[in-house]
Structure 1
């Protein structure tokens, strides 16, 4: 019950700062935070000022919550997220999702920058997440369950909601944006995968691999939120090309597809109910 109390305290703090009541939430990954700059009449709160929030040390994460209007809809956006590899517990990683739910968010768009495992994909592609594989060996719902937050055994058969995926596909087609579709594998990081691990991940059926998204998606579904996942494929995964991987490349490629990414998400938000 202690965590529920913290969720409510954080919700009340945010609500004391703004009259906006968001129905759509967004988590913006590495190099993708520019979407938050499109929010009109924004109210920004640094994570350091929000009770019980952690702070991301990852490059490309601005560490602020932005609330305002996007395409006529009230939204709340995390400009930067917390990662398991930073040493946070999964409870801390997913705490903002719980707060969004408490604020009234019903639909959550989760984005990330990640590596392409499918050799038919290319750096700079956007990928609609159809499903995920949890390779980390843990789960954010492990521990006592609070029935006020969600059921003990949530169904993940439609984690990435078909209705939202249909909207995304429709918007991409209308805007002539190439949108791949595939399965996302969650890797703990912070070290990139080895070539042998990438071969394993491909054999398991994943099309992309990254270090986030899955815990947030699980907790969102636990809280009965509709989830949409979009990946920016910033590099080919280890061993596919004969070149080393770097986070600088991730940020650089994400910035190059910024216009397409922003256009796609804005179009999706406009179509959301």
Structure 2
């Protein structure tokens, strides 16, 4: 039997997120966070560049959070004082859909961020690129998504509008910092296996440019919570069938390591202007 609070019969995921936010406030001494960032593969260094770390909390100490199951995810929650005087909550503990813990656990970090007061959710990931002009190590903005998990974090008859899910305003802010940023439609597959060349072609036919295994479900939960969403993918490789060599997680980590200084600096500058 599962003892995880989000899996319990009758559990209210929003109440558990509120409880988690209260624990973060108590542990960090910061009553309210203004912006939250989930740092995926390749993006972790941004936490060091945003500002002064006020507190670093093992994610497993906070109700509802699980230890990360993926190499490249740090497993901590950090409260960072930004130069503007605002505070950022940096989430280095992402639960992926393919871990089979259910959608509530996947989006708990986002709901907790909203409960801490954050009005902006920055979601980042490492992903495969479909546009052949993109190079490994290139950051791109997410303009929209295709959710191919056949699942949703929203329960019951709550009809949430996703027309402008990835904020055009925030993308414009990002482009003020770096006018060369390209954007594309992110496609979330279930994983954990990589996509087949045929699936990548399907994604391309459907209008996708980026393929990965996270972010879309979290973005939907952020919108349900009333947050403004900024999405970023680090292109770690060209997707299956676009590049000629087999895909590997080691390649993803290597591309992230090579790019992390540059992309983390970019992200820190963008967050500093929000």
Confirm or deny a common fold (TM above 0.5). Answer: yes
Alpha-carbon distance in 2 for matches of 1:13, 1:112? 26
Where does 1:124-139 land on structure 2 (aligned, <5 Å)?
124-139=137-152
CA distance in 2, matches of 1:93, 1:168: 26
Counterpart in the other structure of 1:17 = 27
**Native 8 Å contact 1:71 1:266 kept in 2:** no
Equivalent residue runs for 1:1-273 within 5 Å: 2-20=12-30, 21-38=32-49, 39-72=51-84, 73-141=86-154, 143-144=155-156, 152-173=158-179, 178-272=180-274
Q: What SS does the aligned partner of 1:262 have?
A: helix
SS in 2 for 1:48: helix
User: In 2, are the aligned partners of 1:70 and 1:266 still within 8 Å (CA)?
Assistant: no
Does the 8 A contact of 1:36 with 1:79 survive in 2? no
Cα offsets for 1:114-154 (capped at 9, x unmatched): 0001222221111111010111111111x336xxxxxx111
Distance 1:262 1:226 in 2: 20
- Offset of 1:179 from its aligned partner? 1.7
Residues 44, 260 of structure 2: 8 Å contact kept: no
- Contact 1:115/1:209 (<8 A) preserved: yes
Cα distance, 1:101 vs structure 2: 0.7
RMSD: 1.3
- For residues 32-64 of structure 1, give each alpha carbon's deviation from its aligned partner in whole angstroms, at most 9, with x where no partner exists: 211112241330110111112122211101110
Cα distance, 1:191 vs structure 2: 0.3
In the TM superposition, residue 8 of structure 1 has moved relative to its aligned partner by: 2.0
Q: Tell me how far apart the structure 1 counterparts of residues 264 and 82 of structure 2 sit (CA, whole Å).
A: 11
Whether contact under 8 Å (1:130, 1:183) holds in the other structure is: yes
TM superposition shift of 1:180: 1.6
What CA distance in whole angstroms lies between the structure 2 residues aligned with 1:216 and 1:247? Answer: 22
Partners of 2:66 and 2:93 within 8 A in 1: no
TM-score where L is the length of structure 1: 0.92
Q: Which runs of 4+ in 1 moved over 3 A?
A: none
Q: Which runs of 5+ in 2 are unaligned?
A: 1-10
Q: Is the 8 A contact 2:42 2:257 kept in 1?
A: yes
Deviation (angstroms), 1:263: 1.8
Distance in structure 1 (CA, Å) of the matches to 2:123 and 2:194: 21
Q: Which runs of 5+ in 1 are unaligned?
A: 146-151
How far is 1:239 from its partner?
1.1
* Whole-angstrom distance in 1 between the partners of 2:212 and 2:67: 20
Q: Aligned equivalents of 2:53 and 2:162: distance in 1?
A: 36
Shift of the 138–190 alpha-carbon distance from structure 1 to 2, 3 Å rule, reads same
Task: Determine the C-alpha separation between the residues in 1 that align with 2:239 and 2:159.
Answer: 33
Counterpart in 2 of 1:149?
none
Q: What number of residue pairs does the alignment pair up?
A: 261
- Alpha-carbon contact 2:137-2:235 (below 8 Å) kept: yes
